[in-house]
Amino acid sequence: MTFRAPVRDLAFALKTVGHPDLLARHYPDLDGDTVQAVLEAAAAFADNELAPLNRQGDLVGARYENGTVTAAPGFADAYRRFVEQGWNSLSADPEHGGQGLSKAMELAVFEMVHAANMAFGLCPMLTQGAIEALTLHGTERQKALVLPKLVSGEWTGAMCLTEPQAGSDLAALTSVARPDGKGGYRLSGQKIFITWGDHDAADNICHLIIARTPDAPPGIKGISLFLANKFQVKDDGALGPRNSFRPASIEHKLGIHGSPTCVMLYEDAEAELVGELGQGLAHMFVMMNAARLQVGVQGVAIAERAFQQALAFSQERRQGRTALPGDGAIYGHPDVRRTLMLMKARIEAARGICLTTGVLSDVARLADDPAERAAAKARQELLTPIAKAWSTDVGVDVASAGVQIHGGMGFIEETGAAQHYRDARIAPIYEGTNGIQALDLIGRKVRANGGETMKALCADMAATADRLSAAAGLEGVGARLGAGVAALDRATGWLLDADNIAAQAAATPYLKLAGDVTGGWILGLQALAASGSEDQPWLAAKGALARLWASQVLTQAPGLADGLADGALDLESTQPTALAG
Known catalytic residues? 431
Contacts of 495 (CB under 8 A, 6+ apart): 442, 446, 447, 451, 503, 506, 510, 564
Return d(Cα 290, Cα 384) in angstroms, integer.
9
Return d(Cα 132, Cα 128) in angstroms, integer.
6
Return d(Cα 298, Cα 292) in angstroms, integer.
10
Check residue 189 and report its DSSP letter.
E
Dihedrals φ, ψ of 562, to 5°?
A: -65, -30
Q: Name the maximum alpha-carbon separation found in the chain.
A: 79
Q: Please state whether beta strands 204-212 and 155-160 pair in parallel, antiparallel, or not at all (unpaired).
A: parallel
Return d(Cα 198, Cα 201) in angstroms, integer.
9
Contacts of 167 (CB under 8 A, 6+ apart): none
What b/e readout covers 110-147, taking b as 16+ CB neighbours within 10 angstroms? Answer: bbbbbbbbbbbbbbbbbbbbbbbbbbebbeeebbebbb
Cα-based angle 272, 198, 294 (whole degrees, multiple of 5) = 85
Residue 205 CB coordination number (10 Å): 25
* 475-497 and 452-469 helices, crossing angle to 10°: 160
Tell me the three-class secondary structure of 323-381, residue by residue: CCCCCCEHHHCHHHHHHHHHHHHHHHHHHHHHHHHHHHHHHHHHCCCHHHHHHHHHHHH
Handedness of CA 199, 201, 203, 206 (dihedral sign): negative
Q: How big is the chain, counted in residues?
A: 581
Q: Which alpha helices (H) appear in 188-234, and where do they start and end?
A: none
Instruction: Specify whether the CB–CB gap between 554 and 484 falls below 8 A.
Output: yes
Nearest to 546 by CA among 405, 407, 345, 359: 345
Return d(Cα 114, Cα 482) in angstroms, integer.
34
Return d(Cα 562, Cα 390) in angstroms, integer.
20
3-state secondary structure (DSSP) of residue 260 = coil
Q: Please state whether beta strands 63-65 and 68-70 pair in parallel, antiparallel, or not at all (unpaired).
A: antiparallel
Contacts of 192 (CB under 8 A, 6+ apart): 162, 163, 164, 251, 263, 264
3-state secondary structure (DSSP) of residue 71 = coil
What b/e readout covers 168-190, taking b as 16+ CB neighbours within 10 angstroms? Answer: eebeebebbbbeeeeeebbbbbb
